[in-house]
Amino acid sequence: MNSSRKLNNALLSVYYKDGLDILAKTLHKLGVNIYSTGGTQEYIEKLGIPVNRVEDLTGYPSILGGRVKTLHPKVFGGILARRDHEQDKQEVAAYEIPFIDLIVVDLYPFEETVQSTTDESKIIEKIDIGGVSLIRAAAKNFNDTAIICDKGDFGSLSDILEKQNGELSLNQRRGYAAKAFHVTSHYDGLIYQYFDKDAPANFKASVSPANALRYGENPHQKGIFYGHLNRLFTQLHGKELSYNNLLDIDAALNLIADFDEPTIAIIKHNNPCGVASRENISTAWLDALAGDPVSAFGGIIVANQPIDEATAKEIDKIFMEVLIAPGFEGNALQILQSKKNRILLLQHGKLPQNKLYRSILNGVIEQDRDAVILKDSEINQVTKHKATASQIQDMLFADKIVKHTKSNTIVLAKNKQLIGIGCGQTSRVDALKGAIAKAHAFHFSLNDAVMSSDAFFPFPDCVEIAGKEGINAVIQPGGSVKDDASVSYCNENGIAMYFTGIRHFKH
């Protein structure tokens, strides 16, 4: 049995017409009869190509405002009929049903409509019925029928048909069928998520496309990223992004999104090691780097303002893996491209404020993204001593950093600069000691510095250690049964303490 099938009849019905002209002209050139409906029919006819109307085939017009156009036995019989099945051939002949060898169809833009409106009537109208049915029918009968449901395939299909004299092999048809079932399952998943959003009963996720990475977290592990990175940034220079790069980039973009002033952050192994907010991006870079120039080696740099030439010259002095910025001014890009493998990303999109998921055990856990950004009016003074206006700003600055750092974590800040950080420790005291050691290592004075903690202090030991170092303003969630002990120590030693009521664990 010949596995190749020559195309004689094709049904074209698409929402997006991009590139359809090339395919339609190729089909016409190869002598393929084209069936179509509505706007697609009009589009093809304007190209000077004859079209058979589906209404003439079925004997029914498009009805119910376009909801029913192709749902008819004369259409689906032609798609599903098995060419090597004697009874199928007899029945299509008896009912004058033409074999349809190629289906070209896409789906109503349900996802885009959900993102652009809250009008449920408009959303519901973008749930495709006929398109999904056509795709599934053609994909099921891939042995005889080819299905194209991605406009990105129009050009390549035209080339294949030209080269193969209007024929498609079984492997080609099967490949298109696999893609078709992905399209319909993804589409149905989006619809399910829309209806199930208020009380989710199941976890369903469909993310594409798949992008193979060089390896996973380590060279012996396979790695794949699913998604559209180009919706967030454009890579301007450097080597291919790695699994670990992507984790650090995610951490960097989440952190920088919380800052409005010109700010630069340096990320290492998902944790910030340098952050500074200043009046200009050049000074922000110098002070972010000063926070821990040792850890900055090989790190990820992220800025919320365009990089100018002066800043680029300073950044170029160190080895770093990735630089992310919303722009590059003057010769900044040329300066930074001096290192062949240095990855430069132009950010043009924001991270979606959606749910967070993690695979654990034999399932998946889900949570809301931690989107809390505190204002000075939302923190509660619990000591008789009051922080200065600049210290309050430093505490809010430090609290943003704490939120994006692995627990247990302590952040020390002064003049909107990260001057010491202890993260990922099993003891909060150890986290504080690590932060103090960092500050001392890079010659920062802790007098009048502020301390932020991701969770409450179960004992007063942390405020005691901090107070002896000259730290005299503390921000923390509060909520410990021994809060009074910490507050009492602060009152006795001239330390201001503020409660946020918001814990920022990050595991």
Q: How far is CA 69 from CA 72, 124, 218, in A?
A: 8, 17, 53
Asked if 428 and 408 count as a contact pair (C-beta separation under 8 A), the reply is: yes
Task: List, in sequence order, every residue forming a beta bridge with 11; answer none if it has no partner.
Answer: 35, 103
Distance from first CA to last CA of the chain, Å, rounded? 59
Q: Hey, CA dihedral for 72, 75, 79, 84, is it positive or negative?
A: positive
The backbone torsions φ and ψ at residue 266, rounded to the nearest 5 degrees and listed phi first, read: -115, 125
* Selection from 306, 343, 350 nearest residue 328 by Cα: 306
Q: Which are the contacts of 392, defined by CB distance < 8 A and separation ≥ 6?
A: 376, 379, 473, 498
Kindly give the interhelix angle for 20-29 and 154-163, rounded to the nearest 10 degrees: 20
The tokens describing 90, both together, are 């007899």
38: left (phi over 0), alpha (psi -120 to 50) or beta: left
The tokens describing 210, both together, are 């798949």
What single DSSP character describes residue 372?
Answer: -
Q: How far is CA 255 from CA 59, 267, 398, 414, 474, in A?
A: 61, 9, 12, 18, 21
Asked if 347 and 233 count as a contact pair (C-beta separation under 8 A), the reply is: yes
Residues involved in catalysis: 140, 269
Asked if 132 and 184 count as a contact pair (C-beta separation under 8 A), the reply is: yes
Q: DSSP strand E in 436-502: where?
A: 450-453, 473-476, 496-499
Asked if 151 and 30 count as a contact pair (C-beta separation under 8 A), the reply is: no
CA angle, 191 as apex, 187 and 194 as ends, to 5°? 140
